[in-house]
Amino acid sequence: MVTLVKPAVHPVDRRTEVSSVLASFRMEGLEPDAETASLLQQYATGALSVEQLGSAIERHVAGADVRQPAEGVA
């Protein structure tokens, strides 16, 4: 389940949250897929609430083809 500690209301705060999420992905050597990136962008612009974002990502992940990392990649 996707959980944000405190939903941001102000657009700048939302963009900061999304930037932080993307930085976290990249620190792990990952990039979000196109659907996840689109959902995060919709949240950043206020088109989705934090609850809607969480639900949409859960639905997306439930239907995703999750693959194991390549050998030697932690």
Which numeric CATH code is attached to 11-62?
1.10.8
Each residue's pLDDT tens digit, 10-53: 778 999 999 999 999 999 999 999 999 999 999 999 999 999 99
Q: What is the pLDDT of residue 55?
A: 93
Whether the Cβ atoms of residue 42 and residue 33 lie closer than 8 Å to each other: no
In the chain, what are the domain boundaries?
Answer: 11-62
Q: What is the pLDDT of residue 69?
A: 53
Q: Count each helix (H run) and each strand (E run) in the chain, helices first.
A: 3, 0
Whether the Cβ atoms of residue 46 and residue 18 lie closer than 8 Å to each other: no
Count CB neighbours of 73 within 10 A: 7
Does the pTM of the predicted model rise above 0.75? no
Q: What is the pLDDT of residue 73?
A: 47
Q: Distance (Å, rounded) from C-alpha 53 to C-alpha 47?
A: 9
3-state helix, strand, coil in the chain (%, to 5): 55, 0, 45
